[in-house]
Amino acid sequence: MQSLPTAIVVNSKNRQTALEFASFFPNFVRAYVSDDVMGAEVSGAYKNVIAIASGVCEGLGLGKNAAASLISRGLVEMARFGKSYGAKEESFIGLSGAGDLFLTASSTMSRNYRVGLGLAEGKSQEEILEDLGEVAEGIGTAYALHVIATEQDIYLPIATEVYKMLEGKSPQDTLKDLLTR
């Protein structure tokens, strides 16, 4: 809305359709195209779970090194999950993955990041959602990832711990478990 420069990815299995949609953006938006719809979908959902964890990290005052470690490991976890569904690895290191993750996991404008801040304050999921007054997609995604990880035996330590915090586990116990796993 402020016409500030940004970049996006238009994903479609049909390259011509992606190029056509990419041409609709104004000149301050750099639009890339990709055929990795799965990579974009997984990234778009998973980054919200990592943003919750990042909000907890900030809320506990763990510092920038901890946040960078968490986001980096979250990216690895997100890519591992996506690759198990056939997504391309380059999607996770590009705008759809790392770009969106870095923004969402470091901004108080992110609803999911604010969920993490609430968890760090010891608030329940219900209290957080009442305060937020909006949908935080990372909550439902954390529950879905927990089910998938359990059923398919996929190693998702950060997503699993976010799920457990949403179910009432203390952030301090989560931190201890992630550091000593």
Q: What percentage of residues in the chain have a pLDDT greater than 70?
A: 100
Phi, psi (rounded to 5 degrees) for 161: -70, -35
Q: Which CATH class is domain 37-180?
A: mainly alpha
CB 119 within 8 A of CB 59: yes
State pLDDT tens for residues 16-27: 999 999 999 999
Sign of CA dihedral 28, 33, 38, 43: negative
Q: What residues are labeled active site?
A: 47
**Which residues fall within 8 angstroms of residue 52, CB to CB, at 6 or more apart?**
112, 113, 115, 116, 119, 136, 138, 139, 142, 162, 165, 166
pTM for this entry: 0.95
Rounded to whole angstroms, the Cα distance separating 101 from 103 reads 5
CA atoms within 13 A on the CB side of 163: 17
State pLDDT tens for residues 119-174: 999 999 999 999 999 999 999 999 999 999 999 999 999 999 999 999 999 999 99
Sign of CA dihedral 55, 56, 61, 67: negative
Where do the domains of the chain lie?
1-35, 37-180
